[in-house]
């Protein structure tokens, strides 16, 4: 059951999206998220959806995996849609019965918000699908490096992130092992009410913490032995370089944002704020 969790779910591939510079990908993803929130009319939204589809197609990540990333947020989407339908007023009334008042504006807003959230999640999951966790942390370190002026230890933070990601599979194995050992002593993890189930986790969590702390000490010693001193001045084996394709991607996203602004001006806004 625990093996189904896919954090840092990288999908091996060699598409143009995989080869884009990770720094550029992060910036473009952020730009896309901003543009989602500036788009106000349906034609602009349609442009976003088309762009999202294009990105998925280019990445060659199976649609099934993309859908998997939407599944966890399905409840949130449904919840916000329902709230929007009932609470947004204005426009033509569609249903007006006792305490239920549904207006056209409510339905449009609900639809608009749902599409927005789905696009947002799909595009950000495309970032993790096409970028390895190490590339991501490297890129984050590079992008945050201006913060060094404020004495923020950026490279140490990046190292922490890399280590955290590296140990997720190890911890999952560890949980499996401890769970089996406690099951062998008759621990009952599947039955009982909510409180009982939480109590049943104690025999798993305590050994997990103990071994994690032990592991952390061992890792610190191992890093010491290899003369890791942290801080600035560490060089990388893989240098990040911007290629022509990165600038083309930048251009495409710039065009997208320009298109959205134009469409926002020429068409009526759906969202009334």
Residues forming contacts to other proteins in the complex (CB under 8 A) are 177-178, 180-188, 202-204, 206-207, 210-211
Question: For residue 25, what are the contacts with CB-CB under 8 A and spacing of at least 6?
Answer: 17, 127, 130, 131, 139
Nearer to other proteins, 15 or 212 (CB): 212
Residue 218 C-beta: closest distance to other proteins, Å? 14
Nearer to other proteins, 10 or 42 (CB): 10
Residue 181 C-beta: closest distance to other proteins, Å? 4
Nearer to other proteins, 6 or 188 (CB): 188
Residue 208 C-beta: closest distance to other proteins, Å? 9
Residue 35 C-beta: closest distance to other proteins, Å? 38
Rounded to an integer, what distance in angstroms lies between the CA atom of residue 56 and that of residue 61? 7
Nearer to other proteins, 153 or 203 (CB): 203
């Amino acid at each position: 059951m625990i093996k189904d969790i896919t954090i840092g779910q990288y999908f091996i591939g060699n598409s143009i999206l995989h080869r884009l510079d990770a720094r550029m990908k992060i910036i473009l993803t952020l730009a896309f998220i901003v543009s989602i929130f500036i788009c106000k009319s349906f034609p602009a939204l349609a442009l976003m959806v088309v762009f999202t589809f294009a990105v998925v197609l280019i990445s060659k990540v199976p649609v099934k995996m993309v859908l998997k990333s939407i599944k966890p947020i399905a409840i949130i989407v449904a919840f916000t849609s329902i709230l929007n339908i009932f609470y947004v007023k204005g426009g033509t009334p569609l249903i007006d019965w006792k305490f239920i008042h549904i207006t056209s504006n409510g339905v449009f807003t609900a639809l608009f918000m749902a599409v927005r959230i789905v696009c947002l999640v799909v595009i950000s999951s495309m970032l993790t699908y096409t970028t390895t966790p190490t590339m991501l942390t490297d890129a984050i370190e590079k992008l945050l490096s201006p913060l060094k002026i404020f004495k923020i230890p950026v490279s140490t933070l990046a190292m922490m992130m890399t280590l955290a990601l590296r140990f997720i599979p190890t911890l999952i194995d560890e949980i499996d092992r401890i769970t089996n050992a406690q099951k062998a002593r008759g621990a009952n993890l599947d039955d009982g009410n909510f409180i009982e189930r939480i109590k049943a986790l104690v025999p798993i969590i305590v050994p997990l913490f103990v071994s994690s702390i032990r592991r952390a000490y061992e890792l610190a010693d191992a890093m010491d032995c290899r003369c890791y001193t942290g801080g600035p001045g560490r060089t990388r084996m893989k240098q990040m370089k911007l290629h022509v394709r990165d600038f083309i991607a930048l251009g495409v996203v710039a065009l997208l944002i320009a298109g959205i602004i134009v469409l926002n001006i020429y068409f009526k806004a759906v969202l009334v704020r």
